[in-house]
Structure formats: structure tokens, C-alpha cells
Amino acid sequence: MIQQILFVITLGIAGYFIRKRFLAIRANINLGKAKEIKDHANVRLRNMLLVAFGQKKMFKRFIPAFLHFFIYIGFLIINLEVLEFVIDGVAGTHRIFAPILGNLYPVLMNLFEFLAMAVLLACAIMLIRRNVLKIKRFWSAEMTAWPRLDANLILTTEIVLMMAIFTMNAADRVLQGQLPEHYHNTGTLFFSSYLVPLLVNTDTTVLIVLERVAWWFHIIGILGFAVYVTYSKHLHIFLAFPNTYFANVEAKGHIQNMPVVTNEVKMMLGLAEAPAATTPPAEPGRFGAKDVNDLAWNNLLAAYSCTECGRCTSECPANLTGKKLSPRKIMMDTRDRMEEVGKSLQAGGPGLGDGKTLLGNYITKEEINACTSCNACVEACPVMINPLEIILELKRYVAMEESGSPPSWNAMFQNIETSFAPWKFSPSDRFNWANELKK
């Protein structure tokens, strides 16, 4: 009974903190501008199933995809065993599925152990890749002490949790021979059986304590992991699904025009009627984005969905040529600014009025001016994040609100406005070159 009470209390505490954190994340995402996304429902659902659930884009790089696959599958299937933990914790039972499933139970437990070992090895290899081999994309300028520590903490925690499963199963297996009336026969479990010889001569009381400690450690570890994930880049475990659904489904070369500008141009060309004189002109609002509240809510969702894997930055031609632009940093900065504003608002502070902005305090003009709009980062992202949308909005603000684009750009803009081409010559002379073909 004491175990049941403690378990329910532990579950309730974890649930409270997870709910509180998700409400804060939702509030931060809602800082963004409203945007209705209801088009291409079938395409969006397919993207979610293939990209988020099916890991389709991960396999462009085989080694990390292979390692991530085992962690992902292990995460999904091993949680079925956690379901048994939860039922046992609430009901006060022990291995409740063992008598129900009969001979199938050992088969499933061996499958779980195989996946647990695969997760353990994959995490170990990933730790080596990050800290020994020092893969370049994990050591970029924006990957400061905390982002690197965050990844290492998660990988190390996964390894320790898998070891807890093997220890629990090994102790349980020995106890099945000593106290068969209380411990259901699980048959031989391949990986944990290698630990059994180490425990055979251990006192029964010690074994019971060891098995319970391993059980509690795994439960508390899983719940602690669930809470920690909401503060970590590993939030993509959950948010990759809505992000792939709400991601842009237009062709990658398509850049969304600003409606207010489009309408103005159409009226100038006689393609749209001007609003009636009795209708007060609508306020155009801010052109582009200076802070997170100027971005659409799905851009902010994408920032929380970022895995910090660095594939976008490693494919960015501007970054490869030594420019300061890093698409990963754009997403990390957007998330950090949201977090700063959100914490300020929760504490009764000024929020967006704190004198800081996304553009300037987090992201510099030098960074966004280096972007070629090539969409390499968009193509590379395994969860369909689009850093280019944020970069373009920041560029629009600089160009249209501050007139702060580089002088050469302003000359080009002026030529396009007056001559309908980047070059400074009359539109009437545009086809003079064709006259040469008549000679």
C-alpha cells in the first residue's frame, strides 16, 4: 500500500510539472501572429506520418539515422514495458502481464531487452561521436557549453535507464527461484542473464531491495526525463509531429508575398479596386519581423521543434564559406528569445517591452544578409523546420521599416521598382539585343 501511495504521488508531481511547462510553451508559441493553416490536409497528414513518425528524412545520412532508428524504436516499444510498471505501481501488483500473456511474456521481454541493448549501444556510440570524434556540426559556435551538455545528459540518462532494466530483470530472475510464490517465472532473458551469476549468492533481502531500487529508479528516471525534455532540445520528440503537420507545403522556391503589399501593387496596376472612400484604411502593421511576436505562431512552434542536429548549418553554403549565418542558430535564438519573454511575463515583468528584440540582440544583420535563400537548410531538416521563413521576415523588416539593407541592395530594389529589372536601363530597351539577330 505504501508503494502505491508513493507511486501515485510521484506520478502526480511529474504530471503537475509537465502540464505547467507545456502551458508555458503554448503561451510562448501564442506570442506569434495568428495564422490559419487548414489547406492540403492530406499532404500534411502524409508528411507527419512519413517524416515525423517514419523518420523519412533522417536516412539521408545513414550512420546517425541507423543509430537514431534504434533509439526511436526502443523509445516507442520499451514504453510498453513502462505501461506494466505504471499498472503495477497503481495496483500494487508485480509483473501483472506475466500470468496473462503466459509463454508470450518471455518472448516480449527478450524483445524489450534487445531494444534496450540497442538503445544503450546507440547512445554510447553517439557520445563517442560527439565527445571523442568531435563531429564538426556538434562543435559550431552556437553549440556552447549548455547545448553540448544537454545532449550528453540525455544520452547518459538513456544508458543508465537501460542498465536499470537489466539489473531489475537479473535480480527478479534470481528471486523467481528463491520466492516463486511472489515472483512470476519470466523464463531466460538473454542480456540480463549475464548479470544473474553476479547475484546468485546475494542475500534475498538485498536482492529484493536491489530489484525495487532498480524499478523505482527506472520509473523516476522516466518521469524525470519527461519533465526535463520540456526544457531540452529533445522536446522535438513530441513537437516534431505537429511541426511536420503545420510545416509549409508549398514548393521550396516559393516565397510568400505580404498581402498588404500585393494588394497595393495590384491597385497600382489596375488589377484590383481601391477600397471605398468611406472605408477607413486598414493599418498595415509592421512590415516583416523585429521580434518574436511579429512571426507567425508556426514559426515559433518550429523553433521549439528544433533538434539542434546541425544538418541545416552543415548544408548552408553561406556557413560553408565562412559567413556567420547558421540556420540552427536562427532557430535556437528564436526559441531563447521566446523563453526570455515568457519568463518575464510569468514573473509580471515587461515581456516584449524589456528593451530587447530578436533582431539586434539575438540575430544580427550580418547573419541574415548572408542568406542566399537557397533553401538548403529547409531541405536538410529532418523535421521540416524552415529557418528561411524567419530570415526573410527579418530581412523584410530591415528593408521596409529601417531602409537598412546594404547600399548595393537598395540600388537593385530601386532598379526593380523603376525599370522592372535589377539593371538600370529602360524597359523599352530590354529587347534591343534581339535586333542583332535580324542582321
Strand partners, 296: 33
Inter-CA distances, 122 with 57, 98, 108, Å? 19, 29, 21
Closest CA to 377 of 137, 32, 127, 148: 137
**Could you say which DSSP state residue 275 is in?**
P
Contact residues for 234 (Cβ-Cβ < 8 A; gap 6+): 150, 154, 307
Residues whose CB falls within 8 Å of the CB of residue 213, separated by 6 or more in sequence, listed in order? none
User: Residue 92 belongs to what H/E stretch?
Assistant: none
Residue 114: closest CA among 69, 161, 162: 162
Q: What is the pLDDT of residue 421?
A: 85
Average pLDDT, the chain: 91
pLDDT of the residue at 280: 59
pLDDT of residue 277: 55
Q: What is the CA radius of gyration of the chain?
A: 28
SS3 272: coil
Residues of the chain with pLDDT under 50: none
Cell of 256: 510568400
User: Residue 111's Cα: distance from chain center in Å?
Assistant: 28
The domain 256-276+283-427 is placed in CATH, from the list 3.40.50, 1.10.760, 1.10.1060, 1.20.81, at 1.10.1060
Provide DSSP, 183-199.
Answer: S------TTGGGTHHHH
388: Cβ contacts below 8 Å, ≥ 6 apart: 327, 371, 373, 375, 377, 378
- The CB-side HSE value for 285 (13 A sphere, CA atoms) comes to 12
pLDDT of residue 358: 97
Residue 197 makes CB contacts below 8 A (sequence gap 6+) with none
Domains in the chain: boundaries: 2-30+61-245, 256-276+283-427
pTM of structure: 0.89
pLDDT number for residue 243: 97
**Residue 310 in 3-state DSSP?**
coil
Give me the long-range contacts of 170-179 (CB less than 8 A, separation at least 24): 170/195, 170/196, 170/198, 170/199, 171/199, 171/207, 171/210, 171/211, 171/214, 172/95, 172/211, 174/199, 174/200, 174/202, 174/207, 175/204, 175/207, 175/208, 175/211, 178/204, 178/207, 179/204
Given a contact cutoff of 8 angstroms between Cβ atoms, the answer to whether 388 and 254 are in contact is: no
**Short-list 95, 92, 94, CA closest to 4:** 92
Distance CA 32, CA 281 (A): 24
What pLDDT, on a 0 to 100 scale, did the predictor assign at position 279?
56
